[in-house]
Chains A and B, each alone.
Chain A
Amino acid sequence: MIDNLAVTGRWGIEQLRQIGKAGIMLGRVLFYPPQVRKGFPLLIQQVYSEGVLSLIIIIVSSLFIGMVLALQGYHTLAKFGASQELGPLVALSIVRELGPVVTAILFAGRAGSAVTAEIGLMKATEQLSSMEMMAVDPIRRVISPRFWGGCISMPLLTIIFNATAIYGAYLVGVKWLGVDAGIFWSNMQSSVEFHADVVNGILKSVVFGIAVTWIAVFQGYTAEPTSAGIANATTRTVVYGSLAVLGLDFVLTAMMIGDW
């Protein structure tokens, strides 16, 4: 009995320590003065490997999501004779919810896992400790560019996701199913507001970007330096990242609808 209690307590304290470590790491990333001349090329490299290389998966999946949404929405709306509302349905659901959330989950799978694996391997091969030996701060040199690169890439990917998904919906709705193009766009324009819908969606994606890259970077940095440990850390990045995105999405939506 007492042993069980002790185990639970130890586990709890361990979890608390993990959260504390993650917080300290985020603080160190955020509040270290950036070195513009040295740090900028590193940042660009990370935007490339996290953002540009994720572009293909984002564009392809968004196109299909838009197309499926238009197809499903059209057949449901047609039952009520309201197929002219296809544009608003697709645009609002993509811009408000699907765009940021699906992009963030794909981003966690595509870029987050890569970041974790890379940092974990650096740790396992003791590259991070040798950097410290050379008086190079690994947080500045390795963690910080990856974190900021993810934070920059996420909103940009979300914007592209939104646009291509709506284009996919346009292809299916207007070109295939024959909704009038003018009605499709005019209904969309009259019900989508730039600030309340588009900007809030992008704001969400900024928060998701921070959350996902923070988890990815932290899991990599604290990974057990063995091959099994790196595998575990990569899995945890994807699982925790996706869960954090879905949970945060609920909180943010509640805040945005409640006019904070």
Chain B
Amino acid sequence: MLSQRWIESLVGLFLIFAIITLSMLAFQVSGLMSLFPDKSYAITASFDDIGGLKVRSPVKIGGVQIGEVSQINLDPVSFKAVVKMNIHNQYNDIPDDSSAGIFTSGLLGDNYIAITPMYNTSFLKSGSNIEITNSAMVLEKLIGQFIYSLKNGDSKGDKDAKK
């Protein structure tokens, strides 16, 4: 049998361990806040429609993840979605005339932001805004447009047939 002092300190350790894991569960699993963020700088971009983009969705250039979405707000004046992203510090040479688009990985996959670099010699830095943006392709809208165009095509065809 261990001495009482040992037992007490081991139980203390156990308690502290449990409290630390609880905070890890809170932060990492249920996302109350992200713990120890990587060193990064924040840029923003406003989109007409962000589709299913979420906080912590990846930001990619050429398929390589360079950062993640940190915040999504609605601009109260223009009703555009303002997306704030954190880009890792090692990617500090992205031209500031680059464009950002929202894409879907796979047919039903998750949304991510893809940045297409352009040729300017000045670079994006903390707080800068990406001017050129492409909205998310929302599958339902596309299907709606497709069906609409199909119907129009049909009615034209009918008219042609009547003539």
Seen from chain A, the residues whose Cβ lies within 8 Å of a Cβ on chain B are: 41, 44-45, 47-48, 51-52, 55, 81-82, 84, 91, 95, 156-157, 159-160, 162-164, 166, 180, 182-183, 185-190, 192-194, 197-198
B29–A188 CB distance below 8 A: yes
Interface residues on B, range: 20 to 34
A182–B68 CB distance below 8 A: yes
Give A189 to B56 CA distance when docked, in angstroms: 9
Q: Which residues of A contact B8 (CB under 8 A)?
A: 41, 44
A114 → B minimal CB distance (Å): 14
B31–A190 CB distance below 8 A: yes
Whether A81 contacts B106 in the complex (CB less than 8 A), given A48-B11, A160-B18, A194-B26, comes out as: yes
The one of B24, B29, B65, B106 that contacts A91, using a Cβ cutoff of 8 Å: B29
Q: Which residues of A contact B15 (CB under 8 A)?
A: 156
Among B23-63, those with CB < 8 Å from A are 24-26, 28-32, 54-58
Which residue of chain B lies nearest to A85 when distances are taken between CB atoms in the complex? B110
Instruction: Name the residue in B13, B18, B56 with the highest tally of chain A Cβ atoms < 10 Å from its Cβ.
Output: B18
A38 → B minimal CB distance (Å): 13
Seen from chain B, the residues whose Cβ lies within 8 Å of a Cβ on chain A are: 2, 4, 7-8, 10-11, 13-15, 17-18, 21-22, 24-26, 28-32, 54-58, 65, 68, 105-110
A132 → B minimal CB distance (Å): 24
Whether A180 contacts B30 in the complex (CB less than 8 A), given A159-B22, A160-B21, A189-B56, comes out as: no
The one of A163, A182, A189 that contacts B31, using a Cβ cutoff of 8 Å: A189
Q: Which residues of A contact B108 (CB under 8 A)?
A: 81-82
Whether A198 contacts B25 in the complex (CB less than 8 A), given A45-B7, A81-B107, comes out as: yes
A162–B11 CB distance below 8 A: no
The one of A55, A186, A194 that contacts B14, using a Cβ cutoff of 8 Å: A55
List 10 A-B pairs, Cβ < 8 Å: A41-B8, A44-B8, A52-B10, A156-B18, A186-B55, A186-B56, A186-B58, A189-B30, A192-B30, A198-B30
A182–B58 CB distance below 8 A: yes
Which residue of chain B lies nearest to A84 when distances are taken between CB atoms in the complex? B110
Give A193 to B30 CA distance when docked, in angstroms: 5
A133 → B minimal CB distance (Å): 25
B29–A198 CB distance below 8 A: yes
B16 → A minimal CB distance (Å): 10
Q: Which residues of A contact B32 (CB under 8 A)?
A: 194
Instruction: Name the residue in B8, B31, B105 with the highest tally of chain A Cβ atoms < 10 Å from its Cβ.
Output: B31
B24–A47 CB distance below 8 A: no
Q: Which residues of B contact A51 (CB under 8 A)?
A: 11, 14
Q: Which residues of B contact A163 (CB under 8 A)?
A: 21-22, 24-25, 29
B11–A52 CB distance below 8 A: yes
B54–A48 CB distance below 8 A: no
Give A188 to B31 CA distance when docked, in angstroms: 8
Q: Which residues of A contact B25 (CB under 8 A)?
A: 95, 159, 162-163, 166, 198
Q: Which residues of A contact B55 (CB under 8 A)?
A: 186, 189-190
Which residue of chain A lies nearest to B4 when distances are taken between CB atoms in the complex? A41
B56–A44 CB distance below 8 A: no
